[in-house]
A = this chain, B = another copy of it.
Amino acid sequence: MSKVKDEKLAVKGEQELEWARINMPVLAQIRDEFVKNKPLRNIRIATCLHLEKKTGILLETLAAGGASVASCSCNPLTTDDKVAAALAKKMEVFAWAGQNDKEYYENINHVLDTKPHIIIDDGCDLIFALHKDRTELLENIKGGCEETTTGVTRLKAMERDKALKFPVIAVNNAYSKFLFDNRFGTAESTINAIMVATNKLLAGKTAVVVGYGWCGRGIADRLKGLGANVIVVEIAGTLGTDQSGFHRALEALYSGYRVMSITEAAKYGDIFITATGNKHIINSSHFPLLKNKAILSNAGHFNVEIDIPALKEMSKNAREIKDNVTEYELKDGKKIYVLSDGRLVNLARPSGQGHPIEIMDGSFGIQALSVKYVAENKLQPNVHDVPRDIDERIAELALLAQGVRLEKPTPEQVKYSQSWEEGT
């Protein structure tokens, strides 16, 4: 009963899945345990994730644990149709690249129709649909897991407003997730997607990274590593509960970047990458300041960071000049290029193929063990941290997969770390 673009793509999709499977040793180990112990027997899981090869291996792993799984995509552009076709042979899948808004929400409802016990979400659209339109399903829900910074921010707001009806594990907040997925995964995949979409040289370009959270830090660092001249944009003050923009700005400065406001940076950038989790960061007040042929792209979860409706309005002409590249011609003749309609550039097909496999091996390892944790425990309807032991175990497995074996501290060292009487 799946709905995918083209079932005949399944052969190519299975190749992709195989390549991912070969390169995901953390999930392989968890899958072995799941096969043996079936911790998810009789559990129905609904997932709303970027549906591509690495996600496929997570879904396989959950199924190997005994679960029945139904999946839609958390983004209209990011489904790998080959992989979706291959997965549709094994489980329920409702996803294709290029869904319109109506189809997007229909697919969310299709997976909810399976009456899930556990939810895996990426950006909170599934969880939000449950709370708004499908409240009849809430009583079945044991809990959920959320993958992104953006989603966790929404959940924290729901928790604060006492609106959250079931427990959710903030997978994003595990060290093994945000330190690696947000920082290293987003960086490589974003840069790769920009290279594929544009075939332009990054060396020598003035690249403006807007937002210096973990995603922005990673992107800035890798752009610098490729020879770009990076400008970091931060804000005066704080949004959310995190560090101040002042601290981030100072960190960026001491890391060798120029730091300025978006209004100032608008004049200098050859290429812009937004990673703020906020809205209309580059907007109608900035478009007139941009250089001719400036390139705009977004690495944040939602496609609101660049105000594309405003850009359209200000343009006399817009056309898709090639895959993933839209040209906007402003009234003065200046041209602005937007990648992947301002959606997640690292995931939007065909240029984007999502995070590197090893990164998702870690992130999805946490997902798999967190789902098991939700299945086995009765939790309050709050936002929960990933249990420390799960978080540590994933890091340890990832290290072992790379051949890194560490030593424990000595008893003397443990004791020293707890005492306060030993001084100069």
Contacts and interface: CB of A to CB of B under 8 A. Distances in A.
Interface of A: 15-16, 18-20, 22-23, 53, 74-76, 104, 123-125, 128, 153-155, 157-158, 161, 163, 175-176, 179-180, 183-185, 188, 192, 195-196, 198-204, 222, 224-229, 234-240, 243-247, 249-251, 253-263, 277-281, 293, 302-304, 321-322, 325, 353-354, 356-359, 388, 391-392, 395-396, 398-399, 402, 404-410, 412-414, 416-424
A330 to B, nearest CB: 15
Contact of A410 (B224, B280, B392): B280
Contacts of A247: 175-176, 179, 391-392, 395
A391 B175 CA distance: 24
Given A75-B424, A412-B279, A260 B404 contact: yes
Identical subunits present: 4
A234 B395 CA distance: 13
Given A224-B256, A420-B154, A423-B124, A263 B407 contact: yes
B227 A15 contact: no
B222 A402 contact: no
A234 B124 CA distance: 36
B74 A419 contact: no
A249 B406 contact: yes
Contact of A409 (B278, B392, B410): B278
A124 B420 CA distance: 9
B222 A226 contact: yes
A259 B404 CA distance: 7
